[in-house]
Amino acid sequence: MELPFGWPGGDWQTTARLVGLIIGSYLFLIWVASILWAYRDIRSRTRDIASQVIGMSIIIVLPLVGVPAYLIARPRETLREAYDRQLEQEAILSDLHAVPTCPECQRPVDQDWALCAFCSYQLKEPCVECGRLLQNAWRHCPYCSATHPRARSMSKTRSPEEAERPLDADGDGAQGEDVTEPSRRPRATETMPISARPGQGSSGRRPG
């Protein structure tokens, strides 16, 4: 079939081969680029060698068609994203632990509160010298070195013997063990059998 005008490039078969070569080269470049992209992507998402090999095999064995399958099978987040998420979780946990709570009702309280606003628990007591709020666990004021009022009252209620003993975790004196040596018991009287007594026979009668 002859056309009324000349076909560019000679005949249409040559043009079709040229277009096919261009499209094939373009698809080949896309396949190579997808392999390089998958290699970088899988390395940024996991350090597992087996997962990396499986991901690369999907892209190599199934050109272009394997890209959607790879996008479904790959890890959801990158290593950088997982690291940032872990840091964010640790920051949230540290903030939660930094918030003081009332030991009685376990509700959040402010650092400047001397009394819990929810259960009226005595959180801090003012120093008798400088007037600053002191925590109940402190024995001395860190600002003026004065003795804590609660520690002073505890020392007054203790006896002189208990004052010499160290305080345990509950604030009570450690009870010492009784090391006094028990008195010796008197020895039990040894009884001799009647038959073994001198001057008596086995029947308990003296020989006539």
Over residues 1-12, mean pLDDT: 56
The pLDDT tens digits for 102-125 are 888 888 888 778 888 889 888 888
pLDDT band at 154 (very low <50, low <70, confident <90, very high): low
Q: What's the Rg (C-alpha) of the chain?
A: 47
Token pair in block for residue 144: 């003026």
Q: Is residue 89 part of a domain?
A: no
Point out the least confidently predicted range of 76-80, 138-142, 180-184.
Answer: 180-184
Point out the least confidently predicted range of 98-102, 104-108, 201-205.
Answer: 201-205
Any residues with CB less than 8 A from the CB of 67 and at least 6 apart, and which?
Answer: 34, 38, 59
CA distance 116 to 99: 14
pLDDT of amino acid 124: 83
Q: How many domains, in total, are found in the chain?
A: 2
Q: Are 130 and 161 in the same domain?
A: yes
Model confidence at 150: pLDDT above 90: no
Q: Are 115 and 143 in the same domain?
A: yes
Domain span including residue 31: 14-81
What integer best gives the mean pLDDT of the chain?
Answer: 74
